[in-house]
């Protein structure tokens, strides 16, 4: 049974073959290619390899490259909508080398698995030979192509990819510290984290948080002690923020909620997720209250904007919330913060758009809707005005690990 609509599969196949010369195949969750009837494709050894590759691609929320058999590389992208995995797309198979000995080993492996030797020889002979970097590029291209064409809600994959990145960064820090590289203390890392948050560097702050969590785990594997360190760290961040701006007192209430979630976390991975969510919330509050150090009314207005920026904001709505005239609100916000109400709304929306571009597969139309811009062209215009690049380019640069434009 087909997984994708025939028209969509045909479009994806045409673009993919035009770029890489390979044919894609739908993969069922158990690793079979239901539309292939040859003597090789659905051999149990290949089916098992694809099933494992698909499960790993779902786990990591991204394309997965693996050895289909010795010396033969394949890659799979997951097909998931909402929280359901329908299967995957295989991007093809290629040989890693022209070496005749490697080809013979691959043929022998297929023959041992039950494939007629002549069929195995013919199959291996038809496979292209690719360089080391080509499969990764092809897999990423197929994944991006499929996401754009289907326009599915792949939130599950986005969350898995977000967790995977966090786990990798934490693992790298644990390994670094086990090798004896401890050039900074936890206090130094907390200060660096707070500085990045104040500067609005969300990507840098998340990376620094993962390094801090890795440092904690390398110090002790006792989840209770790690929780105690994390609670102490959150307390430090809140105290420092309050010293910088007394109007951020609502962080005290939020801190209570964060503490409860930290205490209830059952394992290190769950704890990491809780702290990461708290970090995003914390950074948003730092932005809001960083512009209202001396006026409680403006703090109230910006706090309300922080919770409702995705709505169709009007000065009349703010007037009702603050009990002031629309003229007074507009003048007060501009006088205290140096920015208009609309500029604050745009800033909050662009910050949320950054998060969605980094952590989700939503297209620009959906992100424009989710953040409150409504119109895609207007969203792109405002994003480029603040960040210096388009949303699509920001996403590509973010996932490639490169700098992502200017910060407002």
Domain map of the chain by residue range?
Answer: 6-152, 155-290
Beta strands in 334-386 (DSSP E): none
- Which of 121, 139, 122 lies closest to 130 in space, CA to CA? 139
pLDDT of 16-32, one tens digit each? Answer: 999 999 999 999 999 99
- Rounded CA gap, 6 and 104, in Å? 37
Confidence band of 245 (pLDDT split at 50, 70, 90): low
- Rounded CA gap, 76 and 52, in Å? 10
pLDDT of 352-383, one tens digit each? Answer: 898 888 878 788 888 988 899 888 888 988 89
* Choice among 30-34, 160-164, 269-273, 374-378 with the minimum mean pLDDT: 160-164
Q: What are phi and psi of 69, to 5 degrees?
A: -145, 170
- Which of 197, 202, 241, 209 lies closest to 350 in space, CA to CA? 202
Confidence band of 402 (pLDDT split at 50, 70, 90): very low
Q: Is the dihedral of CA 255, 261, 264, 266 positive or negative?
A: negative
pLDDT of 53-108, one tens digit each? Answer: 999 888 888 889 999 999 999 999 999 887 788 899 999 999 988 888 889 999 99
Confidence band of 130 (pLDDT split at 50, 70, 90): very high
pLDDT of 278-304, one tens digit each? Answer: 887 777 776 665 544 456 778 778 888
Confidence band of 154 (pLDDT split at 50, 70, 90): low
């Amino acid at each position: 049974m087909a997984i994708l609509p025939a028209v969509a599969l045909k479009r994806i196949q045409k673009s993919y073959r035009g770029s890489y010369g390979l044919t894609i195949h739908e993969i069922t969750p158990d690793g079979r290619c239901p539309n292939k009837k040859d003597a090789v494709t659905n051999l149990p050894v290949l089916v098992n390899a694809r099933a494992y590759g698909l499960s790993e691609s779902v786990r990591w929320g991204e394309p997965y490259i693996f050895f289909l058999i010795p010396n033969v590389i394949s890659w799979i992208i997951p097909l998931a909508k909402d929280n359901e995995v329908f299967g995957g797309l295989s991007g093809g198979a290629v040989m890693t080398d022209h070496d005749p000995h490697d080809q013979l080993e691959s043929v022998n492996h297929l023959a041992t698995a039950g494939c007629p030797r002549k069929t195995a020889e013919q199959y291996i002979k038809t496979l292209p030979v690719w360089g080391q970097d080509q499969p990764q590029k092809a897999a990423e291209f197929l994944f991006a192509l499929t996401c754009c064409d289907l326009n599915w809600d792949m939130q599950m994959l986005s969350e898995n990819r977000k967790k995977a990145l966090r786990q990798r960064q934490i693992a790298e820090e644990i390994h670094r510290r086990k090798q004896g590289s401890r050039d900074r203390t936890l206090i130094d890392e907390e200060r660096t984290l707070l500085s990045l948050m104040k500067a609005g560097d969300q990507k840098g702050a998340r990376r620094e948080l993962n390094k801090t969590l890795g440092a904690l785990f390398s110090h002790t594997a006792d989840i209770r002690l790690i929780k105690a360190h994390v609670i102490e760290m959150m307390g430090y961040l809140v105290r420092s923020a309050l010293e910088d701006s007394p109007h951020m007192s609502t962080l005290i209430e939020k801190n209570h909620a964060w503490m409860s979630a930290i205490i209830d976390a059952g394992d290190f991975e769950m704890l990491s997720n809780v702290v990461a969510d708290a970090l995003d919330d914390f950074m948003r509050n730092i932005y809001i209250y960083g512009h209202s150090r001396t006026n409680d009314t403006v703090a109230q207005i910006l706090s309300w904007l922080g919770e409702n920026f995705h709505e169709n904001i009007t000065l009349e709505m703010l007037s009702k919330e603050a009990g002031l005239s629309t003229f007074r609100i507009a003048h007060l916000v501009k006088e205290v913060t140096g920015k208009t109400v609309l500029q604050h709304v745009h800033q909050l929306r662009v910050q949320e758009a950054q998060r969605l571009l980094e952590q989700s597969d939503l297209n620009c139309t959906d992100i424009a809707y989710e953040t409150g811009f409504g119109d895609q062209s207007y969203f792109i215009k405002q994003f480029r005005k603040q960040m210096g690049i388009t949303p699509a380019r920001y996403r590509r640069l973010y996932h490639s690990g490169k700098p992502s434009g200017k910060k407002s």
